[in-house]
Amino acid sequence: MELTLDKVGKVVGAETWLRDIDLTLQPGAVTVLLGVTQAGKTSLMRVMAGLDAPSSGQVRVDGRDVTGVPVRERNVSMVYQQFINYPSFKVFDNIASPLKLRGEKNIAERVRALAGRLHIEPFLDRYPAELSGGQQQRVALARALAKGAPLMLLDEPLVNLDYKLREGLREELTQLFAAGDSTVVYATTEPAEALLLGGYTAVMDKGRVLQYGPTAEVFHAPRSLQVARAFSDPPMNLLAGEAGAGRLRLPGGLDLPLPRAMPGLVGPVTLGVRAGALRTAPRLGDVALPGTVELSEISGSDTFVHVSTTAGEMVAQFTGVHHFALGDAITLHLHPEHVHLFDAAGLLLSAPERSSLA
Across the chain, how many H-helices and E-strands are there? 8, 20
Residue 147 is which amino acid? K
Q: Which pLDDT score, from 0 to 100, does residue 165 have?
A: 72
Instruction: Name the CATH superfamily housing domain 3-225.
Output: P-loop containing nucleotide triphosphate hydrolases (3.40.50.300)
- 19 alpha carbon, distance to own chain's centre: 20
Q: Which pLDDT score, from 0 to 100, does residue 355 have?
A: 62
> In angstroms, what CA-CA distances link 95 with 120, 137, 147, 228, 305?
11, 12, 9, 40, 46
Handedness of CA 214, 220, 221, 225 (dihedral sign): positive
Q: Which pLDDT score, from 0 to 100, does residue 356 have?
A: 57
pLDDT tens profile 24-35: 999 999 999 999
pLDDT tens profile 239-294: 999 999 999 999 988 899 998 888 889 999 999 999 999 999 999 999 999 999 99
User: Is 3-225's fold the same as 237-357's?
Assistant: no
Hey, what CATH class is 237-357 in?
mainly beta
Compute and round to an integer the Cα radius of gyration of the chain: 24
Q: Whole-model pTM?
A: 0.90
Q: Which pLDDT score, from 0 to 100, does residue 120 have?
A: 92
Q: Where are the domains of the chain?
A: 3-225, 237-357
| pLDDT under 70: residue ranges of the chain | 355-358
